[in-house]
Amino acid sequence: MATNLPASAHAQGGIGTAPVPHTEHDEHLHEHDEHHDQHWLWKYVFSQDHKMIARQFLITGIFWAIVGGTLSSLFRLQLGWPEATLDWLQPLLGKWIEGGKLSKEFYLALVTMHGTIMVFFVLTAGLSGTFSNFLIPLQVGARDMASGFMNMLSYWFFFLSSVIMFISLFLETGPAASGWTIYPPLSALPQAIPGSGMGMTLWLVSMVFFIVSQLLGGVNYVTTVINLRTRGLSMSKLPLTIWAFFLTAILGILSFPVLLSAALLLVFDRSFGTSFFLSDIYIAGQALHNQGGSPVLFQHLFWFLGHPEVYIVIMPAMGMVSEILATNARKPIFGYRAMIGSLIGISLLSFVVWAHHMFVTGMNPFLGSVFMFLTLIIAVPSGVKVFNWLATLWRGNIRFTAAMLFSIGFVSLFISGGLTGIILGNATLDIQMHNTYFVVAHFHLVMGSSAFFGLFAGVYHWFPKMFGRMMDEKLGYIHFWLTFIGVYLVFMPMHYVGIAGFPRRYYSWTGFDAFSQFADLNKFISAAAILAFFAQFVFIFNFFYSIFRGRRATQNPWNSTTLEWTTPIVPGHGNWPGEIPAVYRWPYDYSKPGSEVDFIPQNVPYSQTASSNLPYEREIED
Amino acid sequence: MTALTILLVLVLLLVVFGLLFRLQILTSIFSGTYVREIGMSNRINAVLMLVFMVVGGAAFFWSFSENFNKMNPPVASIHGHAMERMFWTTMTVIGIAFVLTQVILFVYSYKYQHREGRRAYFFAHNNTIEVVWTIIPAIVMASLIFAGWKAWTRITGPAPKDAVVVEVMGKQFNWLVRYPGRDMKLGVVNYRLIDASNDFGFDLSDKAALDDFTTNGEIHVPKGHPVLIKIRSRDVLHAVYMPHFRVQMYAVPGMPTRFWFTPTMTTDEMRAHLGNPKFDYELACNQICGASHFAMKAKVIVDEPDDYQAWYAKQKPNSDNADMMASYKETSKSAGLGKGGSLGAKAAAIEETGETPAAPLSVQTAM
């Protein structure tokens, strides 16, 4: 192999042909080149290749998303049709159906596990685990992650954690049932709820392994971005995806250990008789010995992770959406530096807003004032991002790929859900809204649905690179419209229920005069939620069908500028068969005036694009 | 059996769907349309964006106004009215931002759909615009913060000296209620003294506890008078949530909390106002506390001040409760709190809530 032609940027089926990049002769073949004779066990199971690990994360994430979605359909049945008999679920749920009704304990277990699974296993591991792994080496021009072995461990710790959490679903006493935030004392005392017995123990053990997995992954992402960028790729030329993954990983590294400490202290309280979070408790006819502990302390520790966590979930989606919007609007992302700045701003602020979850938990009201101030400031960088996305669409030339549709959907949902955060971040208004369906609607739009849309956008966009084939576009359109409409039908009316003060995690509202209205609306929400869930099977079919039978991908199907599209259609271990391409420009040279084609890949030097160079670029022609 | 049939039908449907899909792909390969190109589908999606905005926007507007009255629980406290105004002002502000940004998003999506031969406008940044849309939201947020902060400090500030004091204690799955009695002092309680006839764990060696009285779970408060609710929990977290008074505060074991408010309408007035003779103010638990969390409620009755005094005077103090007095001796001994009660430093520390311990009841004079 004399030249590294696969690293060139031939546009295939595009509007024209991109300039052929500057290539050099490969002096020595790279040691990371393809290993053709790998045993399947090392290739598909205990793989150290970041692309295989990404696929493992993705498929495990899809599995968990189906489980999490099923759980939500079950409890929406109860909320929509509280009078219905659910005997037909007996074969699936067994003793959790009592006299034709969902058992009350199991209802709480369902909401708890739905939250845990979706937040941690799908939107943290499934989203960031998949795309950080897949895109960081490909977009920074690295052969693999800094440590392939640690990366493999990261997946297998996640797998272990998944197995434990999955087993907990089948326990005699049920899985954890004290809400995904596992506030003690409820989560500490099996006398208080059966799910706090073995179910909670497994939950905590599983989370410990999950945190280990996150840290192994995070350290790798940060190291790779800092150390393994290819020649010429300065931080100010990184695609926004990488910026987002990089900052996400930093957030994870700094905040997950705090959750670990909270979990460990809770283990101590549960098993070894300490009193970190327990005090003055009389339960089941017995006064406990614990004194001096503070349940509020646990909440501080939990939300010190818990709030950065929502940005851990949403920032990768923001990064991918920025990339996909620019590519498909055929325009540079508007305000590249402002986009980086706002990501950094959000990352910093995300560490100092955690107690806005605790305005009415008995925390000192003065702290409430401080956290209200900091919380509402975070709306500013978030707003900047939205405006920049809108400006990116302005005077673009938009191609509606499935990925583009989901990205536009992401922006719409992020606006809808983000704005209500201004209400909830206001301590005064939170007095009424705290723990109502207003909160549920808010975070399902802004971090749940939005992050899912980012995930879908990413899968549709990078599927050709992952599997060498294309997903079916028409099914993608159907999937998008069903999901987009479905999500709005579920969560818009949920705000009304919330403004009326309906508390969350209620098995039924019929006991209250104040919550006697809206039975119809709850039925409507449930129906929409279940339909939207079933619409996801269009995606699942499309995904697995396309892996094996999809249309074969071309090298750069979206005419994109970033480095991953310079690899072979199905990159082997080491990503580039020859030398790694060097980078000369930022990643958003779309529709540049003077250029023949409407995109100039990052690895094309300025010397080859004299006609389109801007004044300051002429000076650095090389 | 039914489940099996349903499963079978689902599987068959999936197979049929898969075959149809395969058929469609094979025909499109034959007809030569099986290559991705920017064509009709791009146009359809662009139009759908606009349709979604118009139809979705209309549906939202319709359903919102249709449900507006149902989603507004009547307000019955002074600070509640201020909160309500702030809520709808903020909703208007974010509503404007919502409509503006969503319309721009969908209209741009439609307007700038791909057209053959057109080229996107290379527009990478503009510092003026960036500064403008950073500063304007910052100013808006600052004013919202300021308003919120003012209201928050007032609402969470110290209760007026003449506030009526009532204490609620959450337990799985109901609310216990006690009043300070004639001396206007809440007596010491200690969770180790709880037993079947002493739900609160009154320390009866404290004189102030002897005239305290508990109710059957109903909370009576006088209209037009500040009410300080002291809040405890004796097992897990609960939250006192009274939607009509716009009151919410957690009940935390080991850490007494508080919230004060002034009711503005009696239960009877509210019944007449709503035309619902069965209406009652309710206290709901709003922090997950176990299987029957959803059923943990208490009735709140707002009386005219005179009626309130009459009711207050009728209640029987702890000292009249023979069972409690009898069992107290046993329990205090077995709890190891020693002869003569438990008024140790520990119990006193538990009682310390930072409140003036005996906020005088203004109706006291009448009693």
For residues B314 and A19, the model is more confident at B314
User: What's the whole-number mean pLDDT along residues A24-40?
Assistant: 54
- CB-based contact, A593 to chain B, within 8 Å: yes
Convert the pLDDT of each residue in A182-223 to its tens digit. Answer: 999 999 999 999 999 999 999 999 999 999 999 999 999 999
**Looking at the predicted structure, is the pLDDT value of residue A16 above 60?**
no
User: What's the whole-number mean pLDDT along residues B343-353?
Assistant: 42
Q: Best interface-test mutation with A: which of B119, B131, B195 has the largest number of A CBs within 10 A?
A: B119
Number of domains chain A contains: 1
Q: What is the pLDDT of residue B1?
A: 67
Distances (CA, A) of A93 to A100, A106, A107, A116: 11, 10, 11, 20
- CB-based contact, B64 to chain A, within 8 Å: yes
The enclosing H or E element of B228 equals strand B227-233
Per CB-CB distance under 8 Å, the chain B contacts of A508 are: 294
- CB-based contact, B61 to chain A, within 8 Å: no
Reported ipTM: the value is 0.91
Of all residues in chain A, the percent with pLDDT exceeding 70 is: 94
For residues A27 and A240, the model is more confident at A240
Convert the pLDDT of each residue in A520-577 to its tens digit. Answer: 999 999 999 999 999 999 999 999 999 999 989 999 999 999 999 999 999 988 999 9
User: What's the whole-number mean pLDDT along residues A426-454?
Assistant: 96
A500 and B70: CB-CB below 8 Å?
Answer: yes
Q: pLDDT confidence of B36, banded at 50, 70, 90?
A: low
User: What's the whole-number mean pLDDT along residues A256-263?
Assistant: 96
**Looking at the predicted structure, is the pLDDT value of residue A418 above 50?**
yes
Q: Is residue A572 part of a domain?
A: yes
Per CB-CB distance under 8 Å, the chain A contacts of B194 are: 282, 287
Nearest CA-CA distance, residue A255 and chain B, Å: 25
**Looking at the predicted structure, is the pLDDT value of residue B84 above 70?**
yes
* Alpha carbons A459 and A465: distance in angstroms, whole number: 10
Q: pLDDT confidence of B23, banded at 50, 70, 90?
A: confident
CB-count burial class (<10 Å; 0-12, 13-18, 19+) for A447: buried
What is the rounded average pLDDT for all residues in chain A?
Answer: 91
Q: Is residue A386 part of a domain?
A: yes
CATH number at residue A89: 1.20.210.10
Convert the pLDDT of each residue in B51-80 to its tens digit. Answer: 999 999 999 999 999 999 999 889 999 999
Q: What is the pLDDT of residue A117?
A: 97
Q: Tokens 């004044």 map to which residue?
A: A615
A13 and B36: CB-CB below 8 Å?
Answer: yes
Nearest CA-CA distance, residue B151 and chain A, Å: 6
Q: Which residue of A has its CA nearest to B197?
A: A285
- CB-based contact, A527 to chain B, within 8 Å: no
Q: Please identify among residues 255-274 of chain B the ones whose CB lies closer than 8 Å to any CB of chain A.
A: 255, 257
For the domain with range B164-366, which CATH number is right: 2.60.40.420, 3.40.720.10, 3.20.20.70, 3.50.50.60? 2.60.40.420
Q: What is the pLDDT of residue B366?
A: 35
Nearest CA-CA distance, residue B367 and chain A, Å: 34
* Alpha carbons B201 and B1: distance in angstroms, whole number: 55
Q: Please identify among residues 101-160 of chain B the ones whose CB lies closer than 8 Å to any CB of chain A.
A: 101-102, 104-106, 108-109, 112-115, 118-126, 129-130, 133-134, 137-138, 141, 144-145, 148-149, 151-153, 155-157
Nearest CA-CA distance, residue A3 and chain B, Å: 30
Question: Which of A120-129, A296-305, B258-267, B353-362 has the lowest average pLDDT?
Answer: B353-362
Q: Which residue of B has its CA nearest to A504?
A: B286
The enclosing H or E element of A409 equals helix A402-424
For residues B263 and A95, the model is more confident at B263
Cα-based angle B292, B293, B297 (whole degrees, multiple of 5)? 100
Q: Is residue A411 part of a domain?
A: yes
* Alpha carbons A127 and A557: distance in angstroms, whole number: 22
- CB-based contact, B30 to chain A, within 8 Å: no
Of the candidates A380, A434, A497, which has its C-beta nearest B141's C-beta? A380
Q: What is the pLDDT of residue B362?
A: 39
Asked if B197 contacts B327 with a C-beta cutoff of 8 angstroms, the reply is yes
Of the candidates A193, A293, A434, which has its C-beta nearest B290's C-beta? A193
Convert the pLDDT of each residue in A134-193 to its tens digit. Answer: 999 999 999 999 999 999 999 999 999 999 999 999 999 999 999 999 999 999 999 999
- CB-based contact, B299 to chain A, within 8 Å: no
Q: What is the pLDDT of residue B35?
A: 60
Q: Shortest CA distance to A351 belongs to which of A319, A303, A317, A318?
A: A303
* Alpha carbons A491 and A481: distance in angstroms, whole number: 16
* Alpha carbons B347 and B196: distance in angstroms, whole number: 20
Q: What is the pLDDT of residue A500?
A: 94
* Alpha carbons A549 and A547: distance in angstroms, whole number: 6
Q: Which residue of B has its CA nearest to A387?
A: B133
> What does the domain layout of chain B look like in residue ranges?
42-113+129-157, 164-366
A517 and B120: CB-CB below 8 Å?
Answer: no
A505 and B293: CB-CB below 8 Å?
Answer: yes
B109 and A393: CB-CB below 8 Å?
Answer: yes
Q: Shortest CA distance to B94 belongs to which of A367, A386, A525?
A: A386
- Domain range for A307 is 51-275+292-555+566-591+593-611
Nearest CA-CA distance, residue B114 and chain A, Å: 4
**What torsion do the CA atoms of B336, B341, B345, B349 make, to the nearest 10 degrees?**
100
Q: What is the pLDDT of residue B37?
A: 66
**Looking at the predicted structure, is the pLDDT value of residue B347 above 50?**
no
Q: What is the pLDDT of residue B135?
A: 94
Nearest CA-CA distance, residue B365 and chain A, Å: 33
B255 and A513: CB-CB below 8 Å?
Answer: no
Per CB-CB distance under 8 Å, the chain A contacts of B250 are: 360-362
A412 and B102: CB-CB below 8 Å?
Answer: yes
Q: What is the pLDDT of residue B252?
A: 96
Q: Is the peptide bond before A120 cis (omega within 30 degrees of 0)?
A: no
Q: Is residue A16 part of a domain?
A: no
